[in-house]
Structures are given as C-alpha cells and as structure tokens.
C-alpha cells in the first residue's frame, strides 16, 4: 500500500496520491507550477499574444513555414535559433519556458507561482 500518512488535528489519514491534494486555493494539483516572467515589465506571460509581443520586442519573428501543430519563432538576424511552442498556451511546460530563457537570458525568467 503506497501513499503518505498525514497527521492533522489528532487524526491520522492515509493519502494515496499526495500530488492530488491541493497545496493552496490557487494550485489544486499539489505540484508547484512555473510561470514565465518578462523581466523589463515584470509581467507573467499568460497567453501566446502577450508572449509574441515580448518576443517581437526582443527581435524574434513568427516562423510560418514550420509544423502547423506548433508556434515557432526565429531570430530575424539570420540566427539558427528556433523557439518551438505548443499551439495551445495551456500546454506550455517548464521545458518550453526554459528554452525561451536560455535564448533570451536578459529578457525572461522562470519563477514558481
């Protein structure tokens, strides 16, 4: 039998899946979530439209000839860097965020929510 034993108010309870227990009212999964933050404005990127605007300011342009299931951006100065993101912003993962940070270290950071 797997799980975590929790002692609360004199009651011991076995929680089978501890990651499914809410850690606070904003995060119901129990997993720390990450957010991509634009450093100059201290704004969290919450949609592709906001992110695309900030990437454009950093010299990135939308790449239209690639995979249609992705949103891709390339540097307009003949650089070979390419940022590939899921088409739906809801499927953004920390690996996508860190890819943006590595290619734009002075413009973005990944932080815990």
Tens of pLDDT, residues 42-55: 999 999 999 999 99
**Rounded to 5 degrees, what angle do the CA atoms 60, 108, 90 make?**
80
Tens of pLDDT, residues 69-111: 899 999 876 678 899 999 999 999 999 999 999 999 999 999 9
- The mean per-residue pLDDT over the stretch 22-38 comes to 67
Assigned fold of 32-112: Metal Transport, Frataxin; Chain A (3.30.920)
In the chain, where are the structural domains located? Answer: 1-31, 32-112
pTM of this structure = 0.70
Burial 73-93 (b: 16+ CB within 10 A, else e): bbbeeeeeeebebeeebeebe
- Lowest-confidence segment of 3-7, 64-68, 91-95 by average pLDDT: 3-7
Q: How many CA atoms lie within 13 A of 69 on its CB side?
A: 1
Burial 26-45 (b: 16+ CB within 10 A, else e): eeeeeeeebebbbeeeeeeb
């Amino acid at each position: 039998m797997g799980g975590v034993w929790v002692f609360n108010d004199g009651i011991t309870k076995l929680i089978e899946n501890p990651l499914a227990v809410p850690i606070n009212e904003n995060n119901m999964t129990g997993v720390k979530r990450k957010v991509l933050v634009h450093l100059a404005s201290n704004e969290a990127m919450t949609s592709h439209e906001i992110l695309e605007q900030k990437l454009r300011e950093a010299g990135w342009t939308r790449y239209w000839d690639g995979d249609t299931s992705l949103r891709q951006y390339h540097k307009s100065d003949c650089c070979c860097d390419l940022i590939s993101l899921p088409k739906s912003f809801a499927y953004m993962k920390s690996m996508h965020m860190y890819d943006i940070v590595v290619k734009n270290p002075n413009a973005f950071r990944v932080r815990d929510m």
